[in-house]
Amino acid sequence: MQESSTLTLAFAAAMLASLAVKFWLASRQIRHVARHRDEVPAAFRDTVTLHAHQRAADYTIVKTRFGLLTTAFSSAVLLAWTLLGGLDTLNVAVRDAVLPAWGPLAYQLALLAAFTLVSSALELPFEVWSTFRIEQRFGFNRMTWKLFVADLLKGAAVGTVLGLPLAALILWLMGAAGGLWWLWAWGVWVGFNLLMLVIFPTVIAPLFNKFQPLDNDSLRQRVEALMARCGFAAKGLFVMDGSRRSAHANAYFTGFGAAKRVVFFDTLLNKLSPEEVEAVLAHELGHFKHRHIVKRMVAIFGVSLAGFALLGWLSNQTWFYTGLGVEPNLAAPNDAVALLLFLLAGPAFMFFVSPWMASVSRRHEFEADAYACAQASGRDLAGALLKLYEDNASTLTPDPVYVRFYYSHPPASQRLAAMQPSGA
């Protein structure tokens, strides 16, 4: 009983503390961006117009205010699921409806499916508002309602085809593999993620977008020469129809091993010169050269191993369930309930680790920028970044504390300043 009360208080304190910090950081960001809205920073006055600067400020403020609303709503939903008994109510309803006729595994899968369905329904209005009001207002949205619904249906189908077998296997291991089930389950989870790196580029991504081979001969030759200099081999160079959904631009590597491929958004190719595209690609190659992707994967797998081990212990503690608002089943397995409670409560306790994760990511970005300046042109990379900041309406004047806590990429002023010694 004491452990249950302690967990309840700890969870409530972590949730309230993280909520307070999120609101404080967002309010700082809004005030800082608004305060600098009417003047372009000195370093950008020759390259960024006042109109573009103000548009970026307005977009940032609107998005941050909307983030406050979604954060408050998500916190209320989290409280409803846990301490107010929402998950307990759903668990009882699903158990009574499914367990007698279909058995323990079907009941637990039905509980996961029901939770996912309800959570998705609660989040859907915010996604609609973000896409069709905010992104539309600032000229970024290219999504039609037909495409939006099609994406929802395809996403649900892919999630069902991939997620249900994975969940069934992990739940089976939780019930049948003994005290070390969490180690076997972690191995399954790692294997699944590695498999996704292979099948995502060729099987899943084409369900949502069209990928055409890069047909610009001069650009292709430039890109292939860059990759040869960097010792990088890819399965192919592709252009993705990102403009079907958004005006935002990007480029990325995807895949693993022999399945690696380079993907350019069509919006990126329309906005940047060939030299700038080469510089952006050199930046992405820098991540591979410094093994950032591998390091992040190892870190994620290490953290997930600790998480599975912790779940393995918590799932056997009655106070873990009661402390988070759920009465454990007496005549049915509690594995799905334990999994959901762990996924719900974990982020509240892990929130304050995010500044460290963001700082590591920013350091990686600086390293990739330095590599790009060595392999291509620092001037072209700086020009590309400025165009992307402007086209994506990224503010040039973020709050420094907000940056340290959240930003996975350094702000424009820091990135461009770091490139100056590298020259053109």
CA–CA distance, 252 with 248 (Å, rounded to integer): 13
Crossing angle for the helix pair 104-129 and 50-81, to the nearest 10 degrees: 150
CA–CA distance, 115 with 122 (Å, rounded to integer): 11
Strands 251-254, 261-265: pairing is: antiparallel
CA–CA distance, 158 with 284 (Å, rounded to integer): 28
Is position 51 annotated in a ligand binding site? no
Given the residues 369, 380, 391, 399, select the one marked as catalytic: 369
Angstrom distances, CA of residue 100 to CA of 95, 199, 336: 8, 38, 17
Is position 287 annotated in a ligand binding site? yes
Distance of CA 140 to the CA centre of its chain: 19
**Is position 275 annotated as part of the catalytic site?**
no
**Is position 266 annotated as part of the catalytic site?**
no
Beta carbons of 94 and 111 less than 8 angstroms apart = yes
SS3 per residue for 225-286: HHHHHHCCCCCCEEEECHHHCECCCCEEEECCHHHCEEEEEHHHHHHCCHHHHHHHHHHHHH
Given the residues 151, 224, 284, 327, select the one marked as catalytic: 284
Beta carbons of 328 and 337 less than 8 angstroms apart = yes
Q: Residues 337-359, buried b or exposed e (16+ Cβ, 10 A)?
A: bbbbbbebbeebeebeeeeeebe
State both tokens at 50.
Answer: 């006042």
CA–CA distance, 30 with 62 (Å, rounded to integer): 9
Residue type, 390: E
Distance of CA 188 to the CA centre of its chain: 22
Half-sphere exposure for 210 (CA within 13 Å, toward CB): 7
Active site residues: 284, 369
Which residues are documented as binding site for Zn(2+)? 283, 287, 365
Which residues are documented as binding site? 283, 287, 365
